[in-house]
Every structure is written in structure tokens, then in C-alpha cells.
Structure 1
Amino acid sequence: MIINRLFIIIVLFFVNVNSKIISESTLNSCQGGTIQIAESIPLGLDISTNLSTHDAWMDLITNAQESIDLGFFYFTLLGGSDLDPVYGGQLGIDIFNAIVEAHSRGINVRIVQNEPSESFPDTETQTLAKLGIQVRSIDWVSLVGSGVLHTKLIIIDESSAYVGSANADWSSLAQVKELGIVLKNCPTMVADTEIAFQQYWNAADFTSLPINDWGSNYQALFNNTNMASLSLNNNNNNNNKNKNNDNDGSGTNQMYEMFLAVSPPQFQSTYRTGDIDALMDAINNADQSICITVMDYTPTTLYNDPNTYWPLIDNALRAAAFNRNVQVRMLISHWNYTSPIIPQWLHSLNQVDNIQVRWFVVPDFSTNPQIPYTRVNHAKFMVTEKQSYVGTSNWSQDYFTVTGGLSYNVFNNDFTNQLQSIFNRDWNSPYTQPIQNF
């Protein structure tokens, strides 16, 4: 870990000398590192995965040697404790206990969360704080004006990380469909991710955000014009291969280009790419295929009164399909809490040549009662023939302009094929329905 910290200091030195020039020491780095896709598959679905979110998180937390940084919207890992074990509540208990155990063996654990509310209380983080774990809450509305800290982020020993759709919630491990990226032993990229965490951590003590300049301590190490060049292995640590996948990765080290993007603009430090900019670049650079999985999609705001029109992404998708003949496929979630304003926009997109839209519907659990706010595809990713985008945000204006979120943007053919095969698996599964059904 001393070597890792020294490496990060060297990277920061070069970047601070000239942030537009990435140090040569970062090229071909992370030789022993791995990159994996972790998924949560709701219990009862006939879908398999190489690596579960639960197993990925347990591996990260239990193998921590020095530090664990957790950035999440809220914590309800113990929320399934009183339910019949068939619901999978034990998965959340495992993660909670692993955090406690890590703290007990001297690991420095830090948690930053959104300001607690009646809907999202801080009962569990209060318990962790009483054990001596450091917990901070961001009063997001006071700092940004509206929105929440919607990030889902784990950083271990400043060298491994998870970024994805899964909340620190037992149901995100057992009853909700999720997808994220796990980086292991890659201090190059994780150093840059740590900068984003440190913004959250320090912002919890701010009374106002910096105006246009976070200062040199928060400068991005990489962005969409200066990506990290990483030598990584995506063999899923020899986990069982998904028989439904067409391509699981070669099992050998390959070169990856990668960068982290953030939202909202108020958290874009110097040289940091905005999340909406990363997403738009991916759409606009596609020549053949765009495949999207996201829970909520609408070219509007979702949480304003009244909501307003915001066609930025919608226009880009239509232009890709109409002007460049890009084949666009969109897999959007339909569940008990789908906003009534969403279907009209999807029906409209489905009328455009080269665009196909389907619903993904997770059936009710086999046991009653049904648990509120579960049984949904909560994943948020896009894959083109050129790259992979895996984020924490739904696709409406609110998430990109006032809500705290992150995305990992990955350029590697095998990884893109792996994510594409996951999309194809879901697209062709029995859980999709024609857009006309709702």
C-alpha cells in the first residue's frame, strides 16, 4: 500500500504541473489489475451471471488492508432482516457485518451519504458511527438547490473500486436487477475515482460549493480527451462463465482506455468530464449500434413541478438513427412506480426508423407479500460498437443537472462485447415486452 500511495502522489504531481498532460508513468499501468462486470439478478429470474454484486462487494470489503470509502444515497442493508429468509435479506446482512468486521480489524472506514430523511433514515449509519466508523451526510439541497447524492461507490485501499447502479440496500443484492463495474488492483484509475469521493467527503462540511473552481486538489487525472491507458484482465477471476454470454473476455491482459465522468456540473472539478457530456459523446460517436438499459427514460425533468422538456439525449438518439442509420435498441423498465409521463416518449421513439424500444418487466416474487420498491431492472448502462458506459443515473434532466452521480467509460473491444452480450441476453429474455403493452 505504501507503493500505491507513492504512485498516486507521483500521478498527482505530474497532473498538477500540467493537468492537460498525463504522466508517462500512468501508461500501460495496472498490469496486475482486473476489470469485471458485477450484476444483481432478482431471485426467481431465469438469468445467470458471472459475478454477483454481493460476491463482488464481499470480496472487496473482506480483502481490504487499509481503507474502505463508501459513497451511497442511503443505507438499508439490514432492511430484510425481519423477512422470511427466502427474500434474500441475508445478502445485505453479510455486507453490513463485513463493514463492521473490517472496522474491528483496524481498517479505516469512511461513509458519505445523502442527508437522511423520513423516507431514507440513517438508522444503520448511526449504528456504524457509534462503533467509531466515520460517517458524513451531504445536505445536497442546500448546496445544489435540489436533487440528492445518488452515487453508488466503493473504494478499497485506494486501488480497487465499484461504480454501478446498486444501492447499499439489501434489495439491491437480492430483489432488484443491477449492474456495475469492479476494478481491482488498479491504483491509476482508482486514484482518479478517489478524487470524486473526496469531493463528496469534504462537501459534507461545506456551507456552499466552490464557484467554477474546486482547486488543484480536485483536478481530474483523466477525462474524455486524456484517458487512462490500463493493462487489465477481464477473465472474471475464473468464476463460472455465463452460458448465455457470447463473449466472456479472453482471460488475458489487454489494453483499456477509461475515464470517470461526474454529475452535476457543480461537481465538475478542473478537467473533469461531465456525465452528460460522456453520454452524448458515446451516442454521437456511434456508427453502427447503440444499446441502452436504464430504469427511467424521459426527455424531461422528472421531479419538478411542473416538469419541463429537455430533449438533449432524445435528439441525439433520433439523429443517430435517422442521419447515420445507427441501430438503436432501448430496454426500459416498467414496474409499479413507472412515471406516467414516460410511456409517451418511448412510443414516439419506437416510431422512428432504426429505433426499437422494449419494456423489461421483472415478475412479482413467488412469495407474498411483495416488497415495495423491488422487482425492477435498476441497471443504467449503454454499449455501442466502440465503447461501454456504466453509470449511476437514470436518464432524465434532473439526474444530469442537479443529482450527484458517476459513470465509468470504457474502451476495449472484449469488454464491450461482454457488456453487449449481457444486453442481448436481456433483450431476448422472456422478461421483455413490446412497448405497446403499456
Structure 2
Amino acid sequence: MAGPTTQEPLKTQQKCIAIFALVCCFAVLLALIFSSVEIWDDEDGITEENCSRNCQIVLVENIPDELSLHMDGRLHFPLSAGFHLLLDQAKHSVEVVSSVWDLNSWDVEPIPSNAKQGQLLFQQLLSLKSRGVKLKIASTNTNSSELKVLQEHHAEIHFLNMKALTRGGLHSSFWIVDRKHIYIGSADMDWRSLSKRKELGVLVYNCSCLALDLHRVFLYYWQLHDKDYIPSIWSKRVTALYGKQDALELQLNATPATAYLSTSPEIFCSKDRTRDVEAIYQVIQNAKTFIYISVTDYLPLVKRSFRGTSVTRYWSPIDEVIREAAVLRGIRVRLLISFWKKTHPLTFNFVTSLKSLCMQLHNCSLDVRFFSQKEQKDDFQLGLNHNKYMVTDNAIYLGNHDWVGSDFAVNAGVGLVVKMKGGEDEGKTVLDHIKAAFERDWNSRYAKSLQGSKDQQGKYKHMKWPKDQRETKKENYWKNP
């Protein structure tokens, strides 16, 4: 009778020890997962509480020499000069996200004369080590010779397996320098972005509050290194600081404004992060008088594969809100799309549908033009308008995606929304500068309204372009990408 009585306290003690050990392990696990450790790595002691909101913003563009665009007397800040200026300012760290790394044009023979800017930028990236500046890169390009060279010069590189993560690709293109200055825009780390293609982006200086939030997007990518799945639980280190409901209040060139970052696809949106589609929707909904959109491709379709079967369906979020703005609210809408070798033929069908909305309506203005330079048979990217932005009477959206449903569904991208507050000086804000850039392109000789006729089945049988471009374009009308 005494035996079992003696063993019971011992068993109870063992259970208590086991439970205590489990509780301790669980507490440690929670502490690791939900740690609120500052993500600044003690760099300059910058935190959410003391970060800078008094910022400078500069519009940067690459306009190929082959394009003759009237600059309207405005200061044109070249993209390459902007990149060099960012690297010159770097004291501690440079963080870059880009899937493309081809600054040296090593795969082109002979090396083009206009590839010099890419080579200079690559050399400046290599020189960061000698200055004690850490270079971190997130990319998908595991076969890049340039990334291998940079790695040999002590750059830290993390690769994302986007095919496993989302069945898509990495379209994100942004820089963070010293976690104080940032770049977001359409350009890749490609010599073509600095010479042949028409690109647009912004540099934001001395804006550590915004840089802090963009760094959290970078950390999200950084922690996906070599993973084939997306964790269901994330640290607070990647939680968004600002969004469409609680945008950052700041000064841009001494003008009051608000700003926030958005991301896509949805599975890449950490806690409190606004999706790109939601950001675009909000900017369009808040427009009062005009909406100007400039993208390489516009195609409201999403293509998905399931068990070996490919299904394409209409993707409505952006297309519908554009129609609503023009028809129901009387907003003037202009859509500038690139016309190039990879333009999908269904683009013309959607464009025609959009333009037909205002045919019988007096208070409705929706115009579409296609931007195209004469293409050379062996160089379809020469003069390509690679821009990806929208500007309205009170806000801008600058992103990494073309407005194609599949891009937002599976490809990683980042957007920046800036809304100007009242009282700004006319013509002096970044909004005014981007609006002027759009109007310059819209009124240039490279922007043409597409006209055509249909056969009995409702399909276009030809497209009429000006005589000087008709022959170079007609062979591409019905080619799939």
C-alpha cells in the first residue's frame, strides 16, 4: 500500500518539471517570433520615434538619346546621375532589390557604345567595400556573373525562389542607402535602363521614416533566402509602419504631404501592409479632375495554371475603377501604353472597350494613346517607354508592375503613394513634375491614337498608324509575347 503512495509525488514532480520546460520553450519561441528588436542594427540610432520626416524628393528619368522630347525648360535629372549620387552619399549600407543584373553588357557583342553608364555604376558598387560600406542584394538571378563578382567583393546576396514561393517572378526594383535615402522606380540593374529604355523613378533623401518602412519590405525578402515556402508567422520586424489608412505625415521639398508603401502579391503583404491594387484603387477613387496613367503594358487578365491546365480570366479591379471614374464621376482619364514587340493583341480589344464608354456621354473623357519609337529589327527595346506610374490632381502612384492582372497576382513588386496636401506652389511639387513628364510624352510625336476597323467577327483586320511607322508596326500586331 505504501509503494504507490510514494511514487505519486514523484510522478507529480516530473510532470511539473516537464510542463515548466515546455512553457519555457514556448516563451522563448514567442519571444523570437514576436520580438520587437529594432531593425536598424544600431545604425546611427535611428528608430520610429526619432526618424526624419523632413524629406527631399527628386524625379529621375532615363531618356534615350534617340528620343527627341521637348523638356519644357524643366531640369531633367538623369537616372544614372541619381544612382551615382546615392552611392556617393552611402556611409554605412546599400540595400538593393532587382532581379536583373546586366550592367556590363557582357552578353552583347560588340559592346554598345551607350553601355558606359552601366559599367560605371557597376564599378562604383564594387568600390563600396573599400569605403567600408556594406552592400546587400536581394535577387532571383542565381546565374548572374555580376552578382558573383560582387559577392567576391564581400557583397551579401540572398536569392528568392519565386517559382516555389508564388509561381511568379521578382519585379521589385528599389534601393535603400544608409536607411535614410531611397529609390523606387521602373529601372532594373541593367545597362539598357541607363541608356536604351525610357525609365522614371524618384529619389527620396533624408527620409529615414519612409526608409525604415521600405527596409522592412527588404527584410521580408531577405528572410525568404533559399526558402520554398512563405512562413505563416512573421516577426514584428517586417510589420508595415504606414498604410492607406495611416499614411506617413511628412514634408516633401518643404511641402506638406503623406506617403506610404504598398506591395504585391497578397501573400507578400506582411501585417498592416497595403496591397498594390488597394493603393491604386485609393488613388483613383480620390482623384477629383484627372487621372494620367503611363505603363508599358495594360491587360486586365490573369493567367493561372492548375494541374497542368492554363486558365485565363478577366481581372477587373483596376479596369472597373477606371471605367467608374470616367463614366460616373466625370474624371478626365488618359492612358499611355507602350506599343512594342511584346504588346499582347488583346490589349487593343480592352482599349477599344474603354474608349467606347464615352462615345455618347457629354461629361466623359477617356483617351488612350500608344507610345512607340521606330523599332529596329534587332533592338526592340530601343526607345521603349518602360514607365509604370499614375499621377492625379492630388496624388501619385509609382510602382514596379505593369498594369497586367497576372503581375499583381503572382509577381513581387513595390509601390509608393504620395499625396500632396493643399497650399502647395503650382508647378513646384513632385506631382507637378510627374504630370509635366506625362504631358510631354502624351503630346510627343511618339504617342499615337490607334485606329482600326473590324471584320464581321468583330476582330481587327488592320491598324492604321502614320505612314512613317506603319510598315515597322504591322508585323507585330498579332504576335503573342
TM-score bracket, shorter-length normalisation? 0.7 to 0.9
Structure 2 distance, partners of 1:364, 1:192, is: 40
Q: Which residue of 2 aligns with 1:6?
A: 45
Q: Decide whether aligned partners of structure 1 residues 433 and 419 sit closer, same or farther in structure 2, where only a CA change above 3 A counts.
A: same
1:43 aligns with 2:53: no
Q: 2:431 aligns with which of 389, 407, 416?
A: 416
Q: Which residue of 2 aligns with 1:358?
A: 369
1:136 aligns with 2:151: no
**Structure 2: runs of 5 or more not aligned:** 1-39, 359-364, 452-463, 465-476
Matched ranges for 1:35-184 at <5 A: 35-47=57-69, 48=71, 50-79=76-105, 87-116=113-142, 121-144=143-166, 146-184=167-205
Instruction: Please tell me the root mean square deviation across aligned C-alpha atoms, in Å.
Output: 2.1
> Is residue 66–residue 383 contact of structure 2 (8 Å, CA) maintained in 1?
no
| CA shift for structure 1 position 36 | 0.9
- SS of aligned partner of 2:325: helix
| CA shift for structure 1 position 30 | 3.3
Structure 2 distance, partners of 1:418, 1:38, is: 10
Structure 2 distance, partners of 1:403, 1:81, is: 26
Deviation string 1:279-323 (CA, Å, 9 cap, x unpaired) is 011112222111100001011026763422112111111111110
Q: Decide whether aligned partners of structure 1 residues 173 and 355 sit closer, same or farther in structure 2, where only a CA change above 3 A counts.
A: same
1:228 aligns with 2:236: no
Provide runs of 4+ in structure 1 moved above 6 Å. Answer: 1-4
Q: Which amino acid aligns with 2:446?
A: Y
TM-score scaled by structure 1?
Answer: 0.85
Structure 2 distance, partners of 1:30, 1:285, is: 24
Q: Which residue of 1 aligns with 2:339?
A: 334
Q: Between Structure 1 and Structure 2, whose CA radius of gyration is higher? A: 2
- SS of aligned partner of 1:203: coil
Q: State how many pairs are aligned.
A: 393
Q: Bigger relative contact order, structure 1 or 2, given CA contacts below 8 A and separation 6+?
A: 1
Q: Which amino acid aligns with 2:418?
A: V
Q: Which amino acid aligns with 2:88?
A: T
Deviation string 1:371-405 (CA, Å, 9 cap, x unpaired) is 35443101000011110111100111122121100
1:215 aligns with 2:235: yes
| CA shift for structure 1 position 105 | 2.0
Structure 1 distance, partners of 2:304, 2:129, is: 38
Of 156-165 and 98-107, deviating more is: 98-107
- SS of aligned partner of 1:96: helix
Q: Which amino acid aligns with 2:63?
A: I
> Is residue 4–residue 159 contact of structure 1 (8 Å, CA) maintained in 2?
no
| CA shift for structure 1 position 85 | 7.0
TM-score scaled by structure 2?
Answer: 0.77
1:381 aligns with 2:389: yes
